């Protein structure tokens, strides 16, 4: 079984990623490797932020690791919140506040087109960097949906071809179509080729 360090403290995200990886990989998170401090994310792209996190963990542990950065890009808002997705409404990273602000900023807007984009930066055991990207197109709903699945902006993001938001789609199905799922599929294919 291959052990991978995932540069996240987000338990929801870690569970989602472990679900993708399956039984062939043991996932260790930041807390598991003794990293409890906030890792700086000061790049101006998703690729840059993912690499900042992966590089920080690699420098501390010397082990193969990966990080991701995800952005929600809303067309009518010029691609915002983008790299500020997690902190859109402030540094406390409140999903509720982020959704409230986005819905306020979308009031009266007819164009609801948006996409989720995930970039994974993987640093292998030799220190080489590899990137994997996944995108899912969709739209922002007018209000929060009922539904207990997912996290973050999932209650207001409806993927194209669906009449449900990510919060209403069962996790296994969401993983098969999501931005993170698409990036992870490319990443896993690469890892399996590395073995």
Known active-site residue 69: yes
Given 32, 69, 154, 163, the catalytic residue: 69
> How far is Cα 6 from Cα 100, in angstroms, rounded to an integer?
30
> How far is Cα 76 from Cα 129, in angstroms, rounded to an integer?
33
By annotation, the residues acting in catalysis are 69
């Amino acid at each position: 079984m291959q052990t991978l360090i995932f540069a996240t403290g987000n338990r929801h995200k870690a569970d989602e990623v472990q679900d993708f990886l399956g039984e062939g990989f043991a996932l260790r998170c930041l807390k598991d490797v003794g990293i409890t401090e906030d890792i700086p994310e000061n790049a101006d792209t998703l690729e840059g932020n993912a690499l900042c996190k992966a590089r920080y963990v690699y420098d501390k542990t010397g082990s193969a690791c990966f990080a991701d950065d995800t952005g929600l890009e809303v067309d009518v808002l010029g691609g915002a919140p983008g790299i500020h997705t997690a902190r859109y409404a402030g540094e406390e990273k409140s999903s509720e506040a982020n959704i409230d602000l986005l819905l306020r900023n979308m009031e009266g807007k007819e164009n609801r087109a948006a996409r989720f984009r995930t970039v994974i930066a993987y640093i292998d055991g030799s220190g080489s960097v590899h990137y994997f990207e996944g995108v899912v197109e969709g739209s922002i709903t007018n209000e929060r949906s009922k539904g207990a699945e997912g996290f973050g902006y999932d209650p207001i993001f409806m993927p194209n071809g669906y009449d449900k938001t990510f919060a209403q789609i069962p996790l296994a199905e969401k993983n098969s179509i999501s931005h993170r799922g698409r990036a992870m599929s490319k990443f896993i294919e690469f890892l399996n080729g590395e073995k």
